Structure 1
């Protein structure tokens, strides 16, 4: 639909970012795919093993499946906190008459704090000796028997490493959803109120369908970010105790840089990429189907 000169201009401006994307993103993915067919320690000559790494990953590596299960749990907790919290806060912000900017700033603040600082902060919050914030609150309200070493208990550690990640990005997604809610035509909501619709009916029948495209995009961003989550779980527990908080990303990192098995680590990285692509496809399929229903 553009004239020839305009198409050429668009192409000229698109080439640099596309080239940068290809070098920084696509090339490493293809390199990982290539390395996944080899046994290589980073120094010795590479030994071609074909699909042996993939067979080992799917049939002979129990740690991989533990990490995969933990990753799914990690993603679920992060999405509930990030998307659920973001939607609730964004909806409440539309009702707030004063102090909106202060609230938005406070919620977005964790996203700009150093990851290391967040990890150390939550180490202190979860601490049992000396008592961290959670255990102090439990003691104060008379539930001292529930005090726990949250990062050392195999029953709580996965949730404990997931909460900081969920808390960290809730404000970012809140801003995206809040901007989408502001774009909902006020006359539609006013018409619904005149027809006697409740707040929930107005939200579910008018607001949410209107922001559905933004919700789909936000869900995809949050899901892929959670599937690639690494820094906070690694800093808090390094996958421990045992493999109770081991994620695919932490397992991949340790396989590459601790065990120096770059071929097998590349196999895991390929799986992570495929996992993200499958997740994006499922999100589109499920949410689009609900939109069409």
Structure 2
């Protein structure tokens, strides 16, 4: 439908980022798929093992499965904090008369702060000795019995390392959803109010269906980022105590650079890619099915 000159212009502008994407994303994926069929320590000659790495991963590696279920828990907590928090704050912003810019700036700040700084900040917040902010607050409000070493307790460590990741990106998704809410036609909302619609009905019947395409995109972004989460959990606990906060990404990293088993680490990397693709497919299927219902 575009004239030849326009098609050429589009091609010229798309080619550089497409080449960069192929070099930075597609090539490493293909290389990981290739290495997953070999046993290699990074120095000696590669030994072809076929599907042995995949069989080992799926049938004989308890740490892999522990990491997989930890990753699902980590993802669930991140999605609740990021998408739930973003939708709540964005909805509140649309009804605010003053202070919108300040609130948006405060919520967006964590997204531009170094992950190292965020990790060390939350390590201090969770600290038991010296007493961190969280335990101090529990003491002040009379809940001192709940004080604990949050990063050393196997029952709380996964939630503790998930919260900083959720807090970090809430502002980014809030901004996206807020922009989508501003695009909702005001005449539709006014007509619904005249018909006696409550605020809940206004949101569920008009606002949310209107922003559904943006919600799907945001959910995909949050899900893929959550499944690939690495830096904050690694910096805070390094997967410990035991494997209580071990994720597939941290396990893959340690397998490659601590155990120098690059073939098996590549197998885990391929699984993470497949996991992300399956998650995106499920999200598209479920949300589009709900939107069409």
TM range (shorter): over 0.9
- Paired position in structure 2 for 1:133: 133
- Paired position in structure 2 for 1:287: 287
Does residue 122 of structure 1 match 2:122?
Answer: yes
| Separation in 1, partners of 2:215, 2:12 | 32
- Paired position in structure 2 for 1:5: 5
CA deviations over 1:136-163 (Å, ceiling 9, x no partner): 0111111111110000000000000000
- Paired position in structure 2 for 1:204: 204
Name the TM-score, length of structure 1 as normaliser: 0.99
Q: Number of aligned pairs?
A: 293
Q: How far did residue 20 of structure 1 move?
A: 1.0
| Separation in 2, partners of 1:34, 1:169 | 33
Name the TM-score, length of structure 2 as normaliser: 0.99
SS in 2 for 1:197: coil
SS in 2 for 1:138: helix
- Paired position in structure 2 for 1:264: 264
Query: Which residues in structure 2 correspond to 1:67-216 (within 5 Å)?
Result: 67-216=67-216
- Paired position in structure 1 for 2:43: 43
Q: How far did residue 222 of structure 1 move?
A: 0.2
CA deviations over 1:166-210 (Å, ceiling 9, x no partner): 000000000000000000000000000000000000000000000
| Separation in 1, partners of 2:109, 2:8 | 42
| Separation in 2, partners of 1:228, 1:27 | 18
> Structure 1 residue runs of 4+, over 4 Å off?
none
| Separation in 2, partners of 1:9, 1:91 | 40
- Paired position in structure 2 for 1:16: 16
| Separation in 1, partners of 2:90, 2:139 | 33
Q: How far did residue 5 of structure 1 move?
A: 2.1
| Separation in 1, partners of 2:122, 2:245 | 15
Q: How far did residue 9 of structure 1 move?
A: 2.1
- Paired position in structure 2 for 1:30: 30
Q: How far did residue 17 of structure 1 move?
A: 1.3
Q: How far did residue 11 of structure 1 move?
A: 1.5
Name structure 2 gaps, 5 residues minimum.
none
| Separation in 1, partners of 2:89, 2:163 | 17
| Separation in 2, partners of 1:62, 1:34 | 24
| Separation in 2, partners of 1:138, 1:226 | 29
Q: How far did residue 244 of structure 1 move?
A: 0.3
Name structure 1 gaps, 5 residues minimum.
none
Q: How far did residue 235 of structure 1 move?
A: 0.4
CA deviations over 1:212-263 (Å, ceiling 9, x no partner): 0000000000000000000000000000000000000000000000000000
